[in-house]
Amino acid sequence: LSLWAPSGGAERVLAIQGAAWRAVAGAAVACQAVEGMLADVAHNSTWCLLLVGWDGSQLPVAAVPLSAGPDSLPRDGAIIAPVFDVPLNALRQPSDAVAALHLEPSQGRLWAVLAGGDLQAWQLLSGRPRALGRWALELGDRAVAVCEDAARGEVVLATRGGGSGALLEAPRLLGSPLPGALSGPAPPA
């Protein structure tokens, strides 16, 4: 997996233990929040990079210490060593494959847009990781990206139109407040 510091400059390539990842989401978080997810327990870092990958069948989770703060890269030779898999519903058909991932850093929520149009969410921080829900999206277009703005309590989807479909449509606000199990009883429309 190739990483670059937000300030630009050097690239760091990290090896991933296990199957190759087809998609990845990550966020800089306090190492204290991911202590149980660290393969490198002998670190002295304050900040860690929390990573979730999609390997075609599972969503492995790993945390890697950052060398010098949230805008830095992991040390040379660091290895991405997943410690558990997010409980993805069993893949029954191709529409259950993951199309896009987003990891919201302040709350530790993982979002996955599935190829068939569903949206699934998990809570990775604040206790034991757990599923938050799965919602069938009826957008008429294919969702290709998801992003949560936790401060505003909103989830935004980028969609691709049906026809020739090469262009992204205007982002769609999924819900404010957040859908279903995250803020109330009703799933998104």
Three-state SS annotation for 1-69: CEEECCCCCCEEECEECCCCCCEEEEEEEEHHHHHHHECCCCCCCCEEEEEEEECCCCEEEEEEEECCC
Q: Which two tokens stand for residue 152?
A: 């505003």
At 57 the pLDDT is: 87
pLDDT tens digits along 21-39:
999 999 999 998 988 787 7
pLDDT-derived band at 64, boundaries 50, 70, 90: very high
pLDDT tens digits along 125-152:
977 888 888 888 776 667 778 888 888 8
**Which amino acid is it at 47?**
W
At 180 the pLDDT is: 46
Distance CA 165, CA 157 (A): 16
pTM of the model as a whole: 0.82
Neighbours of 51 (CB within 10 A): 23
Distance CA 34, CA 167 (A): 37
* Secondary structure (3-state) at 180: helix
Q: Percent of the chain scored above 90 by pLDDT? A: 32
DSSP per position, 103-131:
EETTTTEEEEEETTSEEEEEE-SSSS-EE
